[in-house]
Amino acid sequence: GESVGLHLPTLSVQEGDNSIINCAYSNSASDYFIWYKQESGKGPQFIIDIRSNMDKRQGQRVTVLLNKTVKHLSLQIAATQPGDSAVYFCAENPTGGGNKLTFGTGTQLKVEL
Amino acid sequence: NAGVTQTPKFRILKIGQSMTLQCAQDMNHNYMYWYRQDPGMGLKLIYYSVGAGITDKGEVPNGYNVSRSTTEDFPLRLELAAPSQTSVYFCASRHPHRGTGTEAFFGQGTRLTVV
């Protein structure tokens, strides 16, 4: 079946370094993707989104890259801070999928001081 | 503007009991969702609704029911609680358009334990 998956379950980075979190998706009909951050004990919080007609979108310290050829999505966090420690999820919205958002398993980002 | 509000935050149920998880949003969003999240896992879609009076099953609907009588409210009902339903439940809502800036907003979750 269709799925959204993440390459790495845990990513450890040094404070100040850049972080790259990857996501593979298999539904070629998806046209909208979202990155969420979830801190312990809280609900997911929106970080950034991108439509399939774009290959890059930038926010404050974050950049999302979309490669439709290989069905790959990445989230880049610049100058990672301790407050960035969380689980990061990518979600996809398939065209004609009833506007369902499908989530991957998540990547735990740990920022080391 | 409260966003998405879920109640209760925590609940312990005995096997076979029933309960309703409440979800309300004040953003006038047409789309609402219920997800469950097991420890160390991602979110699995239980049910969703694209507007008042319309509901659809997600990936894991068995053991749950929903209703959508108003745009604001989307309660999730567990009729016969089972240990497998121990999880954290998240409600979300979003605007119906599909461009950027139509992300789903999540509540803070309801932690349910069935014993």
Distance (Å, whole) CA A2 – CA B71: 30
What integer is the mean pLDDT of A17-46? Answer: 90
Which residue range(s) make up the domain with B18? 4-114
Least confident segment among B15-29, B59-73, B90-104? B90-104
List the CATH number of the domain containing B28.
2.60.40.10
What integer is the mean pLDDT of B42-56? Answer: 93
Distance (Å, whole) CA B106 – CA A43: 6
Contact A49 B92 (CB under 8 A): no
Give the pLDDT band (50/70/90) at residue A6: very low
Give the pLDDT band (50/70/90) at residue A94: confident
Contact A99 B92 (CB under 8 A): no
CA distance A51 to chain B (A): 6
Amino acid at the residue A43: G
What DSSP letter does each residue of chain B carry, written as one string?
Answer: ---EEEE-SEEEE-TT--EEEEEEESS--SEEEEEEE-TT--EEEEEEEEETTEEEE-S--TTEEE--SSSSB--EEESS--GGG-EEEEEEEE-S--STT-PPEE---EEEEE-
Where is pLDDT greater, at B9 or A105? B9
Contact A100 B58 (CB under 8 A): yes
What is the rounded average pLDDT for all residues in chain B? Answer: 92
CA distance A43 to chain B (A): 5
pLDDT-above-70 percentage for chain B: 94
Contact A93 B98 (CB under 8 A): yes
Q: Is the pLDDT of residue A49 over 60?
A: yes
Q: Which residues of A are less than 8 Å from B44 in CB distance? A: 103
Give the pLDDT band (50/70/90) at residue B17: very high
CB A31 within 8 A of CB A51: yes
In this structure, which CATH number among 3.20.20.70, 2.60.120.10, 3.40.50.300, 2.60.40.10 belongs to the domain A4-87?
2.60.40.10
Placement of tokens 């919205």 in the chain: A93
Q: Which residues of B are less than 8 Å from A41 in CB distance? A: 109
Number of domains within chain B: 1
E strand segments, A1-113: 4-6, 10-14, 19-25, 30-38, 45-51, 56-58, 62-67, 72-77, 86-94, 102-103, 107-112
CA distance A110 to chain B (A): 15
What integer is the mean pLDDT of A48-63? Answer: 94
